[in-house]
Structure 1
Amino acid sequence: MGDALRAIRFAEVAVLVIDAERPFEKQDLTIGDLIVREGRGIVIALNKWDLVKDKQERLAELREMCERMLPQVKGVPLVPVSGLKGNGLEKLMAGVFEMARLWNKRLPTAKLNDWLAEMVEAHPPPHVGGRRLKLRYMTQANARPPTFVAFCSKPKELPESYLRYLVNGLREDFKMPGVPIRFNLRKGENPYAGKARRR
């Protein structure tokens, strides 16, 4: 496991190779979780695909299992391969390059704030102590992985379920399937409010 961790820390995108006939065993999930915690892009290679009988049905089953067992990278690419026969390696490399592109993705602040306003309007944050929590402004602080910061009236009070709602929305609306997304909250209002007026 130490070698795997060192390799993950030096990687930009990690390929998690799992056995298509015995998928998502404990070690697979442990390594998958490490990749996500280190903020690396991830592509899952479904090895021994040449042994799978009903390929379409099996792929659908594996997608469902993956969504359930690795929900923190919803939509992660699953690429059938055969190490023995060398099948699927071109598709695997294409998946790696696409994940690297998404991992480096940057989103304009204006688009993010329009999106945030729509998300808050569709599903407002809860009330705490009789007052609704406010999310007023967000920006992308970094890429590699995409890291976002939102300013909130009481960041410690915002439920984990609401953060998941925002992260899943970002992933879906900005087409970032399978990318680990970091979402941080800071206390305060829009730090740039009023700057344009003072010029």
Structure 2
Amino acid sequence: MSTALSKVATTLPRFAVGKQQIFLPNHVITFISPKPLQPPNLAAFIVPLKFNKLDLRDYLWHAYGVEVRSVRSFISGKPLSKHYESGDGQDPIRHQTRRPKSEKKMLAELKVPFVFPSVPEDLSPWDNDIFKAVTEVSEGNSEDIKNLRVNRRRANVADRPVSNSRISLAKQAEALRLRKEAWSNDSELDDKWVEVEKDIQLPPSK
């Protein structure tokens, strides 16, 4: 009887757990790989902003049977970034600065230390060669598109071939500047436009 009670006692948590059962959770919790000087009894997680310390403690206990002694949480804000949003579906609206959504992290102190597994040296079972080939092709295409955009921005009017209309316009502007000819658009005015000075006799000025 004592052995059965001891087994039940070891399986039950030493803290009060939540009573609400969630069968289809819609939250995502990310386990962060530890830093070089991080002790094995500390585990870092990225959690939703609405998550609290009790939620993480219950989640680790019910999902993995991991007991947590304490939890620390903090919210890290993201720096301002340029946001490019398509206005009419084609041309992006530039120079829109916004702050991305903040990120909430939690640092849990584990009762039993956990050593993060090392990265395997042989990645062939996970098709690493195919992944590298696809990555190289994708990076090459991205670099070509980036260079094309940069060259497009640098291409100004002076680098484009001179058209005949531009040459004619330059000659007309030069003639007007030197007063060699008067400006005219070669269009006849309507009948309603009448020179007032020609039809009205003004009295001589005293």
State TM-score, norm by structure 1: 0.20
Higher-Rg structure is: 2
**TM norm structure 2:** 0.20
Higher RCO (CA < 8 A, seq sep 6+): 1
Whichever structure has more helix as a proportion of its residues is: 1
